[in-house]
Amino acid sequence: MKLEKIIKDLNLRIISAGSDDIEIINGNIGDLLSEVMRTAKPDSVWITYQTHQNIIAVAEVVGIKAIIIPYGLHYSEDTAEKACEHGIYLLESDESAFAVSGKLYGLIS
């Protein structure tokens, strides 16, 4: 599944973009960083409530290509900066984590 299509279908706002033409094959949900590192697969999308800049390093080491935060949350400025540096997509949704994950699962699997 192309990340581009996910962004379009889920109506996500792009806060920070990485390279074009990214293929997503999996997803993960979690706020405990170690848990995410334990369970997330490479080439994943990650739904989380964490917005601080460490999520970028976590995404980078695991191979997560895009991070989605649910409605009402915003990434901090330095998170966006770090994301640019590492080419990780930062996305915001207007829906709940539950709704986002449901739609995402339908798209990817």
Sites of contact with another protein (CB under 8 A): 31-35, 37-38, 42, 48, 50, 52-58, 60-63, 78, 86
| Minimum distance from residue 94 beta carbon to another protein (Å) | 23
Q: Which is nearer to another protein, 9 or 78 (CB)?
A: 78
Cβ-proximal residues to 10 (8 Å cutoff; 6+ apart), any chain:
68, 93, 95, 100, 103, 104, 107
What is the side-by-side strand order in the sheet with 64-69?
Answer: 13-16, 89-92, 64-69, 44-47, 26-29
Nearer to another protein, 3 or 58 (CB): 58
Give the nearest distance from C-beta 14 to another protein in angstroms: 22
Q: What are phi and psi for residue 75, nearest 5 degrees?
A: -75, 145
Nearer to another protein, 17 or 51 (CB): 51
**What's the min distance (Å) between Cβ of 54 and another protein?**
6
